[in-house]
Amino acid sequence: AQSVAQPEDQVNVAEGNPLTVKCTYSVSGNPYLFWYVQYPNRGLQFLLKYITGDNLVKGSYGFEAEFNKSQTSFHLKKPSALVSDSALYFCAVRDNSGYSTLTFGKGTMLLVSP
C-alpha cells in the first residue's frame, strides 16, 4: 500500500525568504505525486503534480516541487514566501491499482511572518 509522510507539522518562514515543505512517499511502481493547499474554511486546491518527465515541476502561485526518485521525496518549494502563502499544505500520492484514489499526508501548516 502507498503512503505519504510530511515530517513537519508546521513550518515558519519570514516573508521574502525561500520556503520548503517536505514530503516523502512510498508506492509500488511509478509514483504520481501531488501537492494541495487548503486555506481556512476552504476546500483543498490543487497546486501541482508530477506524473513523468522533468523532475522540477512548476505549479500555481509560484510554487514548484522537486521529484527525487532515489530519496523518494517530493518537496514543495517557493523562492520568496508571501504572507498570503500561509495555509495548510498536503502532499498526496496516487494509488497505482487502477483507480484514481489519492493517499494524503497529514498536512503541514505553513506560517509566513511579515
Partner 1 sequence: DAGVIQSPRHEVTEMGQEVTLRCKPISGHDYLFWYRQTMMRGLELLIYFNNNVPIDDSGMPEDRFSAKMPNASFSTLKIQPSEPRDSAVYFCASTDTSYEQYFGPGTRLTVT
Give the binding site for partner 1 (CB under 8 A). Answer: 32, 34, 36, 41-46, 49, 51, 90, 94, 99-102, 104, 106-107
**Smallest distance from partner 1 to CB 30, Å:** 12
The 8-class DSSP code of residue 91 comes to E
For partner 1, the closer CB: 105 or 112: 105
CB 90 within 8 A of CB 38: yes
**Smallest distance from partner 1 to CB 17, Å:** 28
For partner 1, the closer CB: 15 or 86: 86
9-33 burial code (b ≥16 CB/10 A, e <16)? eebebeeeeebebbbbbebeeebbb
Within a 10 A sphere around the Cβ of 7, how many other Cβ atoms?
11
For partner 1, the closer CB: 45 or 68: 45
